[in-house]
Amino acid sequence: MMANLRLPSNLFIKLLLGFWLCSSVIIAFVSLLPLLQQSHDRAPLTPQLQQLLVRASERIQDHPRILSHGFPVSGRPMRQPPRDPPVRRSAPFERASFYLLDAEGRIQHTRHPTRALRKFILMAEEAEQAISHQFKNELFFGPYAFKVNGKAYQIIGRLPDHHPRPWFFFFADNKLLTAAIAIFLSGLLSALLAWYLGKPLSSLKRSAHALAKGDLTSRVSERITHRQDEMGQLASTFNTMADAVQSMVNNQQRLMGDISHELRTPLTRLQLALALARKKGQHSEELERISYEALQLEALISELLTLSRVSLANHENKRRLGLAESLSQVLDDAEFEAEQQGKHLQVVVDEALQLSHYPKALSRAIENLLRNAIRYASANITIAAVLQGEQVVITIQDDGQGVPEAELEAIFKPFYRPDSARDRQSGGWGLGLAITQAAIHLHQGSIIAENLSASRDKQQGLKLTIKLPVS
């Protein structure tokens, strides 16, 4: 049973500790603020403040009639009756106000005591001893017990004083602002943690998407693979898988090229034997059929070699050229072919449009698309190229019958031919669009096919859109 128990993974621990610590720090900070403020503002009674209370109580004991003169009224400082001789007082004593409480704790001669005074009286009762407490702009201290004419009284002092307080006590006085800042900090810390965990997943997603689109060189960065957690292990495993996929695909393409190349040797011998037979005057339908099939086989092998070279990208170097310059011969041939078939080809390509590309591979891709468009168009074909941000968008469309919706993605697969009237004479071997797609993927681009229809005559057609990065 113990063997079935699984310890938490490193990623689980990071998630748990991250969110738990984040919440705990915020809650502890908010919860401890009142305690910190209380411990800072409340203190035992100092000898100086004790002396002020003693002197005030002695004055009352020496002059009991002060009580009957309304001492103290509205928190004003205690003053001597006019008939008493002046007494020398210190500066704190001069600024101090005193409040008198009877034996039952009632405040004497003040009908509307301040909130701070009432709060201090409660604090002193809880403390059960004389204390001092610093409020925002005033200091209360006391109580001090004494008797006058056999009656028990308590006296509390007040000084209009302001002491510097730590900056973080500002939050204790502004509860709503503190709650808003706590929510903001909690969201910020959670966002940082989510970014720390989500960034490698985003990188892994981009690499997987690029690999699925045909970019076999896409890998997760080493900064992520070096992480000592499940993210790093996943990234390393993905890179290992991508290496294996690239190796298998390259071996497959290379094998296809090698086989196609090897097939040319017996094919050349067969064509040589046919030539010798014709030279000897041997003519028959069988020989003509063999000659025709040999030519078809040679064309098929040539297409396979082209597909292999484009897929492996080992036949030319990438160059930065004008698109119109690279496609000039292809466009001229396409215009001539369209004219011979009584169709019109419209070319809208900016002469100043430049991008980094493989000229031969891109020319072959565009040539295949244009020939297909001319073959199946009713009367009009259009090729246009525009710059959109950091991409060159090339569109080729015709006014033919289009392709069944279910086959729009499959037409780019090798040896795939739609069922709609495409035989060997009209549709070839189904390698043209596969070569085109391989060439576009070689440029880190994309190609999609879609049917279109005009709003007036309802004439359908096929539109192919190619997107290539400028650099």
pLDDT tens profile 313-345: 555 677 888 888 889 999 999 999 999 999 999
- pLDDT band of 250, cuts 50, 70, 90: confident
- Give yes or no for a contact between 451 and 411, defined as CB atoms under 8 angstroms apart: no
Q: How far apart are CA 123 and CA 41, in angstroms?
A: 12
Q: What is the pLDDT of residue 88?
A: 43
- Give yes or no for a contact between 73 and 110, defined as CB atoms under 8 angstroms apart: yes
CA neighbours within 13 Å on the CB side: how many for 428? 20
More confident residue, 286 or 147: 147
Q: Does residue 147 lie in a domain region?
A: yes
**Within 10 Å of residue 218's Cβ, how many Cβ atoms?**
19
- Give yes or no for a contact between 137 and 49, defined as CB atoms under 8 angstroms apart: no
Q: What is the pLDDT of residue 290?
A: 79
pLDDT tens profile 441-450: 888 888 888 8
Token pair belonging to 195: 């970014």
Average pLDDT, the chain: 76
Does the bond joining 143 to the residue before it have cis omega, within 30 degrees of 0?
yes
CA neighbours within 13 Å on the CB side: how many for 408? 16
- pLDDT band of 261, cuts 50, 70, 90: low
Q: What is the pLDDT of residue 1?
A: 41
Q: Say whether pLDDT at 407 is over 70.
A: yes
For residue 394, what is the domain's CATH number?
A: 3.30.565.10
Q: Does residue 280 lie in a domain region?
A: no
Q: What is the pLDDT of residue 40?
A: 59
Angle at 284 between CA 283 and CA 289, to 5 degrees: 115
Least confident of 62-66, 165-169, 340-344: 165-169
Q: Say whether pLDDT at 242 is over 60.
A: yes
Cite the DSSP H helix spans in 128-284: 169-173, 175-212, 222-225, 230-279
Q: Say whether pLDDT at 185 is over 80.
A: no
Token pair belonging to 427: 């549709």
Q: Does residue 282 lie in a domain region?
A: no
Work out the percent of the chain whose per-residue pLDDT is above 70.
Answer: 73
Q: Does residue 131 lie in a domain region?
A: yes
Which of 111, 139, 159 is the last residue in one of the domains?
Answer: 159
Q: Say whether pLDDT at 11 is over 70.
A: no
Work out the percent of the chain whose per-residue pLDDT is above 90.
Answer: 7
- Give yes or no for a contact between 235 and 227, defined as CB atoms under 8 angstroms apart: yes
Angle at 21 between CA 15 and CA 25, to 5 degrees: 155
Domain span at 133:
45-73+90-159
Residues with Cβ within 8 Å of 84's Cβ and at least 6 positions away in sequence, in order, are 63
- pLDDT band of 30, cuts 50, 70, 90: low
Q: What is the pLDDT of residue 382?
A: 92
Tell me, rounded to whole angstroms, the distance of Cα 173 from its chain centroid.
37
Count of domains forming the chain = 2
Q: What is the pLDDT of residue 175?
A: 65
406 DSSP assignment: G
- pLDDT band of 172, cuts 50, 70, 90: low
In this prediction, residues 407-435 reach a mean pLDDT of 65
CA neighbours within 13 Å on the CB side: how many for 328? 6
Q: Does residue 99 lie in a domain region?
A: yes
- pLDDT band of 358, cuts 50, 70, 90: confident
Q: How far apart are CA 219 and CA 235, in angstroms?
A: 9
Q: Say whether pLDDT at 409 is over 60.
A: yes
Q: What is the pLDDT of residue 430?
A: 66
83 DSSP assignment: T
Q: Does residue 54 lie in a domain region?
A: yes
Which of 128, 159, 190 is the last residue in one of the domains?
Answer: 159
Q: Does residue 6 lie in a domain region?
A: no
More confident residue, 83 or 274: 274
Q: How far apart are CA 72 and CA 22, in angstroms?
A: 52
- pLDDT band of 73, cuts 50, 70, 90: very low
Q: Does residue 134 lie in a domain region?
A: yes
- Give yes or no for a contact between 357 and 391, defined as CB atoms under 8 angstroms apart: no
For residue 110, what is the domain's CATH number?
A: 3.30.450.210
Which of 124, 159, 194 is the last residue in one of the domains?
Answer: 159
Q: How far apart are CA 469 and CA 363, in angstroms?
A: 16
In this prediction, residues 27-44 reach a mean pLDDT of 65
| pTM for the whole structure | 0.46
pLDDT tens profile 363-383: 888 988 898 889 888 889 999
Q: Say whether pLDDT at 459 is over 70.
A: no
Q: How far apart are CA 183 and CA 180, in angstroms?
A: 5
